[in-house]
Chains A and B, each alone.
Chain A
Amino acid sequence: MSVAAMPKDVSRPDSGNNKTLVEINGLRRVFDLSKPWLNRLIEGGGKVTLTAVDGVDFAIREGETYALVGESGSGKSTIAKMTVGLLRPSAGSVTIGGTDVWGSKDAEGMRAMRRQIQMIFQDPFASLNPRWRVRAIIEEPIKAFDLISDAKDRGERVGELLSLVGLDPRDGQKFPHEFSGGQRQRIAIARALASNPRFIVCDEPTSALDVSVQAQVLNLLRDLQERLGLTYLFISHNLAVVRHVATRVGVLYLGRLVEEAPARELFASPQHPYTKMLLEAVPDIEMGGSERQSIAGEIPNPVNPPPGCHFHPRCPQAMDHCSRDIPPVYHVGAANVRCHLFGDAKRSAR
């Protein structure tokens, strides 16, 4: 459809020379799923833990979109929450613009940093307080960070933000239920932009939306990135969507980053067997005639993941030691791959 009155796309920011904005090191999160101690005492049974995120490192450069891809149980949303400071990591660190999100004692610095981080959530029906008017919703971050003290100026800013995301400034008077899913997601984006952030975590921002609306929201996010120089961490399970937004992609499987590469490389030549399978599992809308490959088996229970490489029971190329040793990260071309396959031949390991 020749709909586009959209500006001709300027290709995505080159990730080569920009400096690192977000740095994530050895991030780990263990959830305690045990019953209360009284139950354990009487019924027996020990502690049950779930390692949702297991030693993840990556870095996001200023102005780029880093996408984390994974299926359920991969830990992608847990990483998102730890990155923005909503969930305390069990180990590891998150550094944004030089400030340690979890370790900093500098209260003023923390507040300044908080203003720089925002988040867009998956469900636009749950992310807006149903009892608040849109204006109050968007205004809240402005008030929380004391950005604009004058009520009238603040109202104008809300109007500006609404226009920026493609809504009418007068929509501020309405309540969230008067909007469709796509419009609500725009409101959520306006709220995220209200504090003039540099870094926005988008947690499955379009997975609750219909395709035609998804395209609108993805285009809007890209447009805003260009205009405001934003950096995104984009969480998604949809590879086709990721391909359209990401500069760099990290593929998660049961809490571990199994492959990380610039988007073009990852889609052109996936290295990890899991990445390959994921790509093959995407339905072929172009009807090229190829049957889509199904991946054998299902994602194991994260409470009790397979030893060694978590993927080995489903991997067609699994070797003996895959079930014993956790593979280290190998550099394969532009990609970082956590797979034993690259252990012997192309060993350029750390």
Chain B
Amino acid sequence: MTTPTLSVRNLRVEIPTRRGVLTAIDDLSFDIAPGEVLGMVGESGAGKSITGSAIIGLLEPPGRVAGGEIRLAGERIDNVSPDQMRRIRGRRIGMIFQDPLTSLNPLYRIGDQLVETILTHERLSQKAARTKAVKLLEEVGIPAAEARFSAYPHQFSGGMRQRVVIALALCADPELVIADEPTTALDVSVQAQIIALLKRLCADRGASVMLITHDMGVIAETADRVCVLYAGRLAEIGPVRAVVKHPQHPYTQGLMAAIPSLVGDPDATLAQIPGSMPRLGAIPAGCAFNPRCNFAFEACSAARPEVYDAGTSDASCFLHASEVAPSAPAETLRAADQAGIVLPVSAKETIA
């Protein structure tokens, strides 16, 4: 097996506050293979953006990485000096944020920002850098790139700005691109363009992508695999098709069912998960989802589930743990089975 572009092991991010230490990310592990697009999805506060910030070493203080390892192409990057990290950012990891205006300096011309970024990462002559910048702008679909080279960010529309940000993120040919809600601030009709562009450019360059978004629709059409976060913990991870079509974690199931869609009966009541995601200071004991879960049983509030093989994906739910699942009431197991959760053999036997 090839070395993953990004490998995160047992990541733990803590935010000390006056009322004690909050654990924003708790024991999170995942890999992104070369050329792969991994979607990070979760509701606000689930910790998806914090994961991104932790990887690029830009956690806002007082937040800190309190445990685990982050490896980029096999090398640890969670314990390097800020100086080394600065060199990794931009050169080896490209970044795209939600609001293009925060990534672009309003006082500098678009072209100059690109040339400057290219020159900090590559030994090129001013002229060669300019040629490369124009080429990049053409690639991201800026019409009349040569002419708009000397335009300022405010002279661009939202979609065009995000294209420039993508050009900036890709100008050093990074191995990994972290895109944090790249389309959230854009109109629906522009979203599709940007997603298609991002996907195409990364595929052309063989860059891996970590796509952070709350929009399952964007994930469904962009990502190869998806990682679902809940309250700073991994709920489910697997190939996007499997997770979207046959979710194995009760939370993912609820999430998928709650999304209004353009097909199906418009008059049917939308499925809803009762309650809301716990705040970081009040994460329930055991499985973080257990108070809202239809299939919760005794074990769920007693201990925290690990990540188990759930057939098509991996899920952090005791229903997939072959030793624990049989202890659930037969009724629960039957309901779960009916809801499409692939139970381990041991549990199947108890309800057979």
Contacts and interface: CB of A to CB of B under 8 A. Distances in A.
Q: Do chains A and B touch in the complex (CB under 8 A)?
A: yes
Interface of A: 1-4, 6-9, 11-12, 71-72, 180-183, 210-216, 218-219, 222, 237-241, 243-244, 263-264, 267, 277-279, 281-287, 291-295, 298-299
A295 B191 CA distance: 9
A244 B258 contact: no
A3 B191 CA distance: 32
Interface in B223-275: 240-241, 244-245, 250, 253-263, 266-274
A2 B340 CA distance: 11
Contacts of A3: 254, 257, 271-274, 294
A213 B271 CA distance: 10
A56 to B, nearest CB: 20
A71 B43 contact: no
Contact of A295 (B192, B257, B271): B192
B220 interface: yes
Contacts of B215: 283
Contacts of A277: 189
A212 B158 contact: no
A216 B272 contact: yes
Contacts of A278: 188-189
B44 interface: yes
B247 to A, nearest CB: 9
B44 to A, nearest CB: 6
A1 B189 contact: no
Contacts, number: 164
Contacts of A219: 269-270, 272
Contacts of B269: 4, 6-9, 219, 222
Nearest to A6: B269
Interface of B: 43-44, 157-160, 187-193, 196, 214-218, 220-221, 240-241, 244-245, 250, 253-263, 266-274, 276-277, 279, 294, 335, 338-339
A253 B191 CA distance: 17
A285 B267 contact: no
B192 A1 contact: no
A239 B294 contact: no
A279 B43 contact: no
A182 B43 CA distance: 12
Most A-side CB within 10 Å, residue of B253, B255, B262, B338? B262
A66 B214 CA distance: 27
Contact of B262 (A8, A222, A239, A298): A239
A8 B159 CA distance: 42
Contact of B43 (A2, A211, A283, A294): A211
Given A2-B335, A277-B189, A287 B267 contact: no
A294 B189 contact: yes
Contact of A285 (B253, B261, B273): B261
A219 B274 CA distance: 12
A211 B250 contact: no
Contacts of B241: 287
Contacts of A211: 43, 214, 216, 255, 258-259
Contact of B266 (A263, A284, A287, A291): A263
Contact of A218 (B192, B216, B263, B270): B270
Given A210-B44, A219-B272, A285-B261, A237 B335 contact: no
B192 A293 contact: yes
Would you call the interface of chain A mostly helix, strand, loop, or mixed? loop
Contacts of A11: 267
A240 B262 contact: yes
15 contacts: A2-B294, A3-B274, A11-B267, A180-B276, A211-B259, A212-B277, A215-B270, A237-B188, A264-B266, A279-B262, A281-B188, A285-B220, A287-B221, A292-B221, A298-B187
A222 B270 CA distance: 10
Contacts of A214: 258, 260
Contacts of B253: 1
Nearest to A301: B157
Contacts of B267: 9, 11-12
A281 B191 contact: yes
Most A-side CB within 10 Å, residue of B190, B217, B269? B269
B258 A215 contact: yes
Contacts of A293: 192
B43 A281 contact: no
Contacts of A237: 187-188
Nearest to A179: B276
Given A212-B255, A294-B192, A295-B190, 11 more contacts: A3-B271, A211-B43, A211-B214, A212-B258, A213-B43, A241-B260, A281-B192, A286-B261, A293-B192, A294-B193, A298-B190
A291 B241 CA distance: 14
B189 A183 contact: no
B343 to A, nearest CB: 16
Given A1-B254, A1-B294, A298-B157, A210 B220 contact: no
B317 to A, nearest CB: 13
Contact of A210 (B43, B157, B191, B260): B43
A248 B193 CA distance: 29
Nearest to A240: B260
Q: Which 5 A-B pairs have the closest CB atoms?
A: A283-B217, A210-B43, A294-B192, A215-B258, A295-B189
Nearest to B43: A210
Contacts of A180: 276, 279
A243 B264 CA distance: 10
B127 to A, nearest CB: 32
Most B-side CB within 10 Å, residue of A2, A284, A285? A285
A1 B250 contact: yes
Contacts of B338: 2
B228 to A, nearest CB: 12
A283 B195 CA distance: 10
Given A1-B273, A3-B294, A4-B269, A286 B263 contact: yes
A244 B266 contact: yes
B154 to A, nearest CB: 12
B189 A71 contact: yes
